Structure 1
Amino acid sequence: MQPDPRQLFDGIAFSRHHGVVAAVSGGGDSLALLLLLQEFLDSHADAPALTAVTVDHALRAEAADEARFVAGLCASRGIAHRTMVWRGEKPATGLSAAARSARLELLAQAAQSVGAGLVFTGHTRDDQAETVSMRAARGTGRGGAGIAPASLHNSGIWFVRPLLACGRAELRNYLAKQNIRWIDDPTNDDPNYERVRVRRSLTPEGVAGCVAEADDVASERRLLGTRAARLIDDHVRRMAPGLYRVDPALVEDTDSAGALYALRVLAAMVGGASHLPPENASERVFAALRDGVCATLSRSVIDYRSSGVYLHRERRNLPVRMRVRQGMLWDGRYRITDGDGLHVAPFGGVARDHPAEADPDLPQDLQFAAQFAEPALWRGDALIGAALDVDGGVKVGVPAPWATLLPSFDVDVAKALIRLLGGKTVLALP
């Protein structure tokens, strides 16, 4: 069956954007994406401009030739193209994860440079099945939702995956009928990679089962996030920088699953954690809160008082003093948007002499505990002040664990955290 561009792209709000980017490696999936997207855009007079972007990770000698191959194909079809190269030293460990992160950053940079708000990638139905199968082997719960149809990068760029319903063979047949050749990455046949081994083990029935499971888990995850968002809006307040009060009614809410999930995302946000705390550890803390017991979870202190349950960042493993870099993510909790020539570090003990503005009835020990872990800007040994309050240095709260990439499954609960932080509303789904 031929993929239909209208079915793939009709639901996307192209009218909001002046430009779009297609991530094209030269492989069959990404080339099919490019041609299908061009076909769709060419059928609309007011369509945004299309740019193809190839990322050269500088890890294989052939990568530069592959980028030139894509550039030549684009030139023959009147499509703008650029190559982004991952420069600098590569890590000795965690190379695959670092390469994925670099690819996102480079694609986002390319999109910004051409005024594009959307980046399209060629993830397929087969990729989805492989991802779900690998995560199932690790016992991942929420991860069973697989690859999200869209994800919001911290740059404000949406990464969109319109081919998740298309099979790899279907896309290659589409290219073959147009006499378009593609490049096969040799790593896609290397059994040293887990994904290759999983790919070889999956039958067509196995692919269908994994995709159906992903759809079910994704639906449950979206619904749970919506319920948790309601509870956060109703029961959680920001009392001072880094300090949040939870009404004990949240712990007693009849929607215990939604309340537990709300606690997990709150703990991750307050602690700046890149992942939600484990469900079993969260359940123990949740039970302890019902008994009025204090606890720690995901680098957050959860302090039960007569006036409510308070969350703040615990003192351990705070960042060391470092030079401010524009846009840096600090402690997983704040993005420092400016502060050239300054250093950023936690307030630490000097927090007692620099209390943040807060409700006068708020216990002073809680104010100090929260301020202790908040970012302050320094010039040499001189404290300039809280990052938020200093000219040239601004902190923006981010909804950890979605500080870098927000899957569309989690938009509702992330919006609740952003409202709590006083941040800007998340861009509408594409």
Structure 2
Amino acid sequence: MQQAGSTPAAMLFSRIDFGQGAVAAISGGSDSTALLVLLKNHFDRFLPSARLIAVTVDHALRSSSAAEAQTVAGLCKELGIVHRTVVWEGTKPSSGIPAAAREARYRLLAGVARDEGVGIVVTGHTADDQAETVVMRQARDEGPGLAGMAPATLYDGDVWILRPLLAERRSALRTLLTVSGRGWIDDPTNLDPAFERPRARAMLAADENRVEDLLATARRVAPEREDLGRRAAALIDRYGRRLAPGLIRLAPEFAAETDPQAVLQALRVLLAVAGGTPFLPDKHRVAGLLRMSAAGAGRATLSRTVIDVRRAGLFLYREARGLPAASTLSDGAVWDGRYRITFDDDVEGCVIAPFGRKEALESPASVGEEAPASLFRAARAAEPAVWQGDICLGSLGEPGQLPGVEVVPVVAPFAQFLSGFDLEVARAASALIGAPSLPVSPLRASDGSKASANA
């Protein structure tokens, strides 16, 4: 198998730095089978010392899934590739099966990648999948989402999901498999009209011109989305400051910038970050907040975030409503979408709960020209704290305040899936709130350097 579609096999993976190896997701379908064979050839030729681990996720949703995983295991044995089968265990939801299965699939694949120490999962998404994604997002009027799937996505902050076949058509991959004498498994779920993607697939099956138009849309929107992210990141870097845990200030000049699209995008991201929400707020409602800010004063709430406009700037902090109830400590859990908390045995018997208005009023607050004490206290009241009975042992927002407890800020809208199109704005938001630095993308730019936002 020398090439996929019109792309020589050697070029398919030429931009990827596989490092110590990769996990290849294989279901047994034509796309993932072709991907595995192409990867095997590439690793044999260019990366003989790197590890290639094939992983099949058995979603346990069909009676034939275990047997199909065994078939894939037999193929991997024939090819000399290490194979793992991981099962989605537990009770399945009664609705939203595709989304839940997708989340479980990436969680299980990433778990194997971490266990193997490779940090990369490669999937067989094709140009056909890309066209289906774009047409589904068109139906939901998702503007930047029309860029489709990115060639690289960061999952849970440490595992890269790569899609090297996004420019390849499924028909070409099947032709290559047929010529090489290899078959594949057809999943009946892919034809079930009860689900959105099969409906999109059926609609596009007989309309080749529509497919090409959708792919052209993705190619056009992707660089526009990246550019908007870079411009928004520059504004966050220039005007944003974290005054205290949970309190962000945007300088007055921010709203007066002459790039209204970038201003809108930067504020949407920061509202989601401050509120700990996984989705960006509606752009029309955020535009209304910006009109309010033009008056120089005002206060509103959106995406669980209070935006307080004063002469000194725009101040963002988590609103007091809807904060998590007191809960026992769970090592590594994300609290309120804003902090990942780890701890040692010394804090057993305690619970995490909001610091609270009473405690915030009684505690010292920073006072300075950048913000009044009332804003510091309002932000601190919504921060996580460790409680033992009715006694607050301390706020977790302040680093090093409680021995044995580590609190790391989380950039909520990009915490689970960070599209490579949004790397720059995610980097700026991470730096602003003191979240961990983003790992470098394994994709190289066209000049051979490591890619940054174009991933």
Say whether the fold is shared (TM-score over 0.5): yes
TM-score (norm 1): 0.95
Q: Deviations over 1:320-343 (max 9, x none)?
A: 222222221221111123356342
1:311 maps onto 2:319 in alignment: no
Instruction: Show the 5 A alignment for 1:2-81.
Output: 3-14=7-18, 17-45=19-47, 47-81=49-83
Distance 1:116 1:281 in 2: 42
Instruction: Please tell me the residue identity of whatever aligns with 1:267.
Output: L
1:347 maps onto 2:355 in alignment: yes
CA contact (8 A) 1:232 1:262 kept: yes
The match for 2:233 among 225, 229, 232 is 229
1:206 maps onto 2:210 in alignment: yes
Instruction: Please tell me the residue identity of whatever aligns with 1:420.
Output: L
Instruction: Please tell me the residue identity of whatever aligns with 1:411.
Output: L
Instruction: Show the 5 A alignment for 1:93-172.
Output: 93-172=95-174
Deviates further, 334-343 or 145-154: 334-343
CA contact (8 A) 2:411 2:435 kept: no
Q: Deviations over 1:92-125 (max 9, x none)?
A: 3333222111111111110011111110011110
The match for 1:295 among 295, 300, 310 is 300
CA contact (8 A) 2:119 2:159 kept: yes
Instruction: Show the 5 A alignment for 1:261-340.
Output: 261-292=265-296, 293-338=298-343
Q: Deviations over 1:307-363 (max 9, x none)?
A: 222110111111122222222122111112335634222112343267477455542
Deviates further, 330-339 or 129-138: 330-339
Distance 2:37 2:167 in 1: 17
Deviates further, 91-100 or 265-274: 91-100
1:232 Cα offset (Å):
0.4
Distance 1:242 1:356 in 2: 16
Distance 2:278 2:226 in 1: 19
Distance 1:236-1:95 versus aligned 2 partners, 3 A rule = same
Distance 1:325 1:173 in 2: 50
What is residue 374 of structure 2 aligned with on the other side?
A: 365
Instruction: Please tell me the residue identity of whatever aligns with 1:379.
Output: Q
CA contact (8 A) 2:361 2:377 kept: no
1:66 Cα offset (Å):
1.1
What is residue 416 of structure 2 aligned with on the other side?
A: 404
CA RMSD of aligned residues (A): 1.7
Distance 2:379 2:215 in 1: 44
Q: Deviations over 1:158-215 (max 9, x none)?
A: 0000010011111111111111111100111112222112111111111111111012
Helix, strand or coil: the match of 2:43?
A: helix
What is residue 431 of structure 2 aligned with on the other side?
A: 419
CA contact (8 A) 1:111 1:119 kept: yes
Instruction: Please tell me the residue identity of whatever aligns with 1:286.
Output: L
Q: Deviations over 1:48-82 (max 9, x none)?
A: 21000111112111111111111111111110011
TM-score (norm 2): 0.90
Distance 1:38-1:355 versus aligned 2 partners, 3 A rule = farther
Distance 2:90 2:260 in 1: 48
Q: Deviations over 1:286-309 (max 9, x none)?
A: 111111222222111111122222
Q: Which structure 2 segments of 5+ residues have no match?
A: 443-455
Q: Deviations over 1:378-421 (max 9, x none)?
A: 33443222224322322211112111110000000000001101
Helix, strand or coil: the match of 2:414?
A: coil
Distance 1:100 1:94 in 2: 10
Q: Which structure 1 segments of 5+ residues have no match?
A: none
CA contact (8 A) 1:19 1:114 kept: no
1:19 Cα offset (Å):
2.4
Helix, strand or coil: the match of 1:428?
A: coil
Instruction: Please tell me the residue identity of whatever aligns with 1:352.
Output: A
Helix, strand or coil: the match of 2:258?
A: coil
CA contact (8 A) 1:271 1:313 kept: yes
Helix, strand or coil: the match of 1:394?
A: strand
Distance 1:393 1:91 in 2: 34
Distance 2:97 2:47 in 1: 43
1:18 Cα offset (Å):
1.4
Helix, strand or coil: the match of 1:262?
A: helix
Distance 1:51-1:356 versus aligned 2 partners, 3 A rule = farther
CA contact (8 A) 1:355 1:367 kept: no
Distance 1:51 1:240 in 2: 44
CA contact (8 A) 1:3 1:174 kept: no
CA contact (8 A) 1:355 1:371 kept: no
What is residue 385 of structure 2 aligned with on the other side?
A: 376
CA contact (8 A) 1:149 1:160 kept: yes
CA contact (8 A) 2:365 2:377 kept: no
Instruction: Please tell me the residue identity of whatever aligns with 2:428.
Output: A
Instruction: Please tell me the residue identity of whatever aligns with 2:106.
Output: L
> Number of matched residues?
428
Distance 2:12 2:242 in 1: 42
